[in-house]
């Protein structure tokens, strides 16, 4: 796949017009299908973009999201250059100095990479993943066009105002470039493996760092059962209920204990060990996309989930405001009412029939009406939860995610508030505080200086305010006295008796009286 063919470039040039026509079509079903077909025709980058787009169910129509989710990475393998030449060019070593055997044909092909079976000189069985040659240039060209298309959709269609396609393309750019760096995937895999070291529920294959680079990744070959192969799992008497519940437990452990979660957990990346089927163990591969949350987002998410479980809708609304997901000026009672209208009909169903992921999606959609900012980390979390819950229900249709998740969240909250946990956090920060002790005197001096300067500024402001207030008071007096003068003048002109009496006053008396009145009105 060295570049685009003439027909491919023609399709690229025509795509904006096809998409605009697609979104203006009357038939929703045909419109969604044509969009999916257009992306399939354009190849791997657009297929992967369509898959990412399908995760934005907080903005997308459900039918459109389902249509795009059906996109598959059914990409033909590249033939040239050979796998041997790619490895030698990237690692600077001959294939014979690394491998005892190396397949010439890939056994799996994806959008940006393909995978080969191999055996190292020490007889370790491995797989070799290589990036498609020339894919970087294709990605850069496709992203440029995708960004232009996104702008057209955002400016010219109704769906663009809700979907934010330009922002989605920007997020996609970060994801796709991370996937082009296999060292990043290797580092993610190693971290995930450490997080679940000696775990009985999840295994992550070993990375062979000496034989890996940005374009080549060598890792341990696994021999598990694809998680979607229910027949094979049943054949070895796998406890599917426990397998489904374990998947939920792994998800929450990654999100709330490790704050490092595999964000691409579709069935193609998940296997089940052939050992101990009565206590099934997952095997995770392809860690190119990893999610994490800020400490605040992690804490507020857990609190939100607990409040949703307990139907404390006002607390859910307050938490959204407190963590900055919606603007500070949001009216809590209106937001609370909107959340209640979403949740109550759902909670009327039996818990095992309620989709936790779809409930969160509905909440995000509701929050978007209150100008909720798009949180990329939460989008990844939402996508992962959709995959995990869907997979769990596929394994065990009666899975009650609520029964599995609620005890976990309650235990997490108790651990967070445990005095020993608080002491542990303080102990973790003590070295940082000690490092800052030598700077403490200077920090005090700086703080005192800033405080003095702030006091001087405040004093100046108070003085200016006092001057302004005095000036306003003088002006008010002038206005009142001027009004009295005008009133007196009007009375003099209207009442002949008074007018005549004043005219008969001696000048020695009238002059000082008028001068005093003038000074009273206009003195500074």
Element of type H or E holding 271: strand 270-272
Angstrom distance (rounded) from CA 196 to CA 35: 40
Strand partners, 142: none
Full 3-state SS string of 298-334: HHHHHHHHHHHHCCCHHHHHHHHHHCCCCCCCCCHHH
The residue to which tokens 């949703």 are assigned: 308
Bond into 420 cis (ω within 30): no
CA angle 353, 381, 58 (to 5 degrees): 70
Give, in degrees to the nearest 5, the angle at Cα 373 between 177 and 309: 105
Query: Active site includes 142?
Result: no
Q: Torsion angle, CA of 224/226/227/228, rounded to 10 degrees?
A: -160
CA 71: distance to chain centroid? 23
Q: How far apart are CA 475 and CA 416, in angstroms?
A: 61
Closest CA to 43 of 134, 130, 104, 156: 134
- Identified catalytic residue from 58, 142, 264, 286: 264
Helix or strand run (H / E) with residue 375: none
d(CA 300, CA 277): 37
Strand partners, 102: 118
Look at residue 360 and give its three-state secondary structure.
Answer: helix
Residue written as token pair 């609304």: 317
Residue 59: strand, helix, or coil: coil
Concatenate the DSSP letters of all residues of 202-232 into one string: EE-PPB-GGG--SSEEEEE----EETT-HHH
**110: CB partners within 8 A, 6+ apart:** 44, 73, 75
β-strand 282-284 against 270-272: which pairing, if any? Answer: antiparallel
* Residues that are catalytic: 264
């Amino acid at each position: 796949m060295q570049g685009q063919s003439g027909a491919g470039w023609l399709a690229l040039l025509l795509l904006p017009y096809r998409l605009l026509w697609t979104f203006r079509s009357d038939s929703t079903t045909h419109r969604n299908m044509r969009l999916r077909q257009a992306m399939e025709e354009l190849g791997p980058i657009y297929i992967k973009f369509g898959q990412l787009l399908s995760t934005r169910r907080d903005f997308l129509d459900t039918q459109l999201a389902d249509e795009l989710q059906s996109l598959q990475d059914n990409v033909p393998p590249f033939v040239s250059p050979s796998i041997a030449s790619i490895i030698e060019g990237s690692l600077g070593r001959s294939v014979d100095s690394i491998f005892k055997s190396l397949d010439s044909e890939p056994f799996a092909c994806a959008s940006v990479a393909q995978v080969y079976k191999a055996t190292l000189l020490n007889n370790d069985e491995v797989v070799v993943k290589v990036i498609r040659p020339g894919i970087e240039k294709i990605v850069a060209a496709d992203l440029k066009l995708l960004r232009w298309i996104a702008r057209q959709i955002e400016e010219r269609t109704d769906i663009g105002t809700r979907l934010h396609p330009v922002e989605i393309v920007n997020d996609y750019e970060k994801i796709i470039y991370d996937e082009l760096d296999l060292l990043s995937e290797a580092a993610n895999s190693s971290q995930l493996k450490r997080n679940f070291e000696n775990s009985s529920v999840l295994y992550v294959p070993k990375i062979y760092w000496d034989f890996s680079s940005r374009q080549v990744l060598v890792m341990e070959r696994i021999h598990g059962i694809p998680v979607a192969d229910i027949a094979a799992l049943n054949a070895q008497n796998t406890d599917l209920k426990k397998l489904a519940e374990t998947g939920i437990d792994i998800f929450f452990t990654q999100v709330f204990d490790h704050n490092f979660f595999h964000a691409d957990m579709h069935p193609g990346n998940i296997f089940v060990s052939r050992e101990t089927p009565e206590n099934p163990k997952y095997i995770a591969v392809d860690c190119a996309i990893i999610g994490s949350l800020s400490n605040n987002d992690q804490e507020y998410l857990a609190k939100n989930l607990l409040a949703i479980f307990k139907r404390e809708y006002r607390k859910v609304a307050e938490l959204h405001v407190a963590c900055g997901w919606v603007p500070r000026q949001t009216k809590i009672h209106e937001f609370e009412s909107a959340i209640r209208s979403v949740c109550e009909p759902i909670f009327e169903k039996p818990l095992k029939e309620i989709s936790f992921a779809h409930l969160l999606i509905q909440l995000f959609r509701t929050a978007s009406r209150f100008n909720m900012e798009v949180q990329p980390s939460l989008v990844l979390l939402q996508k992962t939860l959709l995959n995990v819950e869907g997979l769990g229900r596929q394994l065990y249709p009666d899975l009650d995610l609520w029964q599995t998740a609620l005890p976990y969240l309650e235990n997490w909250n108790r651990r967070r508030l445990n005095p020993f946990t608080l002491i542990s956090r303080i102990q973790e920060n003590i070295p940082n505080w000690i490092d800052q002790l030598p700077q403490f005197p200077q920090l005090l001096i700086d703080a005192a200086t800033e405080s003095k300067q702030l006091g001087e500024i405040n004093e100046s402001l108070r003085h200016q305010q006092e001057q302004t207030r005095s000036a306003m008071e003088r002006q008010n007096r002038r206005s009142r006295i001027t009004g009295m003068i005008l009133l007196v003048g009007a009375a003099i002109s209207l009442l002949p008796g008074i007018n005549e009496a004043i005219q008969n006053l001696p000048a020695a008396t009238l002059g000082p009286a008028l001068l005093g009145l003038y000074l009273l009105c206009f003195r500074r």
